[in-house]
Amino acid sequence: MKATVLAHPNIALVKYWGKRDDALILPHQSSLSLTLSPLSVTTTVEFGVPTDAVELNGHVAKGSERERVLRLLESVRAQAGDKSLGPAKVVSRGDFPMAAGLASSAAGFAALAVAGRAAAGLPRDTKAESILARLGSGSACRSVQGGFCEWQRGERPDGDDSFAVQRFDAAHWPELRMVVAILDRGEKDVKSRDGMKQAVETSPYYAAWVKDAEAEVPRAREYIARRDLQALGEMCERNAWRMHSTSLAADPPLCYLNAATVGLIHHLREHRKKGVPVWFTLDAGPNPVLLTDAANEVAAEALARACGALDVIRCVPGGDATLKSEHLF
Ligand code: PMV
């Protein structure tokens, strides 16, 4: 009745930006990401305790945070067809700065989905786990498996065909590096959830975004297949720019970049002109993630530091969410 899982966050190379169904978290378009190691979140779930209890990073979860966790476990009970599993205790801990704009929620909900099913006695099933994780946070469905995962948007209104599949495992491209440049540690003003809704509802460019992002996914797959860093880097940048352009065109406009972000991007372009193979991507926050290879990760870190990075985290392709024998309680 107790299970513990470690999962890694992921960074989208083709972003997910906008839901067609808010309750089921169904996206308008497909997306593709890379799982990041060594960053991780570990979560223990136990059913059959006296009352529900949720602890995230040393704090008792309250309000909507607690509700999202308990709602996901309600779906575990439904999948297990067993309402008698009883209340659940959840303890979750991440090993990276939560306010850094990295999607800690992706690793957290992926770990919760896999641990929840295991604690309910269900067998490992990456499709079912990915669908469960998606109900916690969309991007979490891409953290159940390692390497390069593609979240297929699906067509069905019940979301049963909207989950992530692994296209290439972490060993496919071990020299690939993602360097996270933390320029700002503050909480962002507009959460992804709210920002994407605003873009869907008010941006005149939104339909173009959906069409373009969907078309980029098979291209990204091709570039990854042939380990073409330049083609993938260029695609990553244009996809990030297009997500941000769609958002800048929303009403009211959404600007996630700050002055340091723009400074770093210009600096990065100068480096590239001098032959350093480095590109960026940017989620809904000011902290860019630099895409490069093992031979250039030190140069990428130096570039980020020269542009005022408060912290830099060097990442490699990460593995699957895995069951652990040591529990958090
Ligand atoms: O899954 P959410 O609700 O945290 O949204 C993630 C949105 C982006 O990080 C901007 C893009 C993505 O695909 O991860």
Which stretch of 11-20, 76-85, 105-114, 165-174 has the lowest confidence by average pLDDT? 76-85
CA of 2 to the centre of ligand 1 (A): 29
Cβ atoms of 254 and 197 within 8 Å: the answer is no
Task: Tokens 């295991």: give the residue.
Answer: 118
How many residues belong to the chain? Answer: 329
Ligand 1 pocket test, candidate residues 10, 11, 15, most atoms within 8 A of CB: 15
Instruction: Give the count of beta carbons closer than 10 Å to the beta carbon of residue 93.
Output: 16
Neighbours of 4 (CB within 10 A): 23
Distance 24 CA to ligand 1 centre (A): 15
107, amino acid identity: A
| Residue 222, token pair as written in the block | 């091709």
| Residue 92 β-bridge partners | 43, 56
Confidence at residue 186, expressed as pLDDT on a 0 to 100 scale: 79
What's the token pair of residue 207? Answer: 């339909």
> What are the tokens at 158?
């019940």
Beta carbon of 40 within 6 Å of any ligand 1 atom: no
For ligand 1, say whether the CB of 193 is within 6 Å of any of its atoms. yes
Structure tokens of 325?
Answer: 């024998």
230 CA distance to ligand 1 middle (Å): 24
pLDDT score of 104: 75
Gap from CA of 26 to ligand 1 centroid (Å): 12
Distance 16 CA to ligand 1 centre (A): 6
**Model confidence over 140-149: pLDDT tens digits?**
999 999 999 9
Distance from residue 139's CA to the centre of ligand 1 (Å): 5
The closest-lying atom of ligand 1 relative to the alpha carbon of residue 33 is 13
Q: Whose CA is nearest to atom 9 of ligand 1?
A: 283
List Cα–Cα distances, 52 to 47, 65, 156, in angstroms: 9, 13, 32
CB 284 within 8 A of CB 248: no
Q: Whose CA is nearest to atom 10 of ligand 1?
A: 283
Measured from the CB, is residue 137 less than 6 Å from ligand 1? yes
Ligand 1 atom closest to Cα of residue 16: 13
Q: What is the pLDDT of residues 182-209, one digit of tens each?
A: 999 877 788 999 999 999 999 999 999 9
Model confidence at 177, pLDDT cuts 50, 70, 90, reads very high
SS (H, E, C) the chain: CEEEEEECCEEEEECCCCEEECCCCEECCCEEEEEEECCCEEEEEEECCCCCEEEECCEECCHHHHHHHHHHHHHHHHHHCCHHHCCEEEEEEECCCHHHCCCHHHHHHHHHHHHHHHHCCCCCCHHHHHHHHHHHCHHHHHCCCCCEEEECCCCCCCCCCCCEEEEECHHHCCCEEEEEEECCCCCCCCCHHHHHHHHHHHCCCHHHHHHHHHHHHHHHHHHHHCCCHHHHHHHHHHHHHHHHHHHHCCCCCCCCCCHHHHHHHHHHHHHHHCCCCCEEECCCCCCCEEEEEHHHHHHHHHHHHHCCCCEEEEEEECCCCEEECCCCC
Residue 84 has what pLDDT? 84
Instruction: Output Rg (C-alpha) for the chain, integer angstroms.
Output: 19
What is the number of the ligand 1 atom nearest to the C-alpha of 193? 3
Whole-model pTM over 0.85 = yes
Cβ–Cβ under 8 Å, residues 106 and 143: yes
Q: According to the model, what pLDDT value does residue 85 have?
A: 93
For residue range 82-117, list pLDDT tens digits in order: 778 999 999 999 987 655 556 678 999 999 999 999
- Is the distance from the beta carbon of residue 15 to the nearest atom of ligand 1 less than 6 Å? yes
* CA-nearest residue, atom 6 of ligand 1: 139
Lowest mean pLDDT among 45-49, 104-108, 282-286: 104-108
Does the Cβ of 12 fall within 6 Å of ligand 1?
A: yes
Which of 13, 14, 17, 28 for a ligand 1 pocket mutation test, highest count of atoms within 8 Å of Cβ?
Answer: 17
Average pLDDT over residues 245-260: 97
Q: Of 63-67, 173-177, 218-222, 227-231, which gets the smallest average pLDDT? A: 63-67
CA distance 214 to 242: 12
Mean pLDDT of the chain: 95
With contact defined as beta carbons under 8 Å apart, do 151 and 142 qualify?
A: yes
Q: Is ligand 1 within 6 A of the CB of residue 150? A: no
Q: How much distance in Å is there from the Cα of 18 to the middle of ligand 1?
A: 9
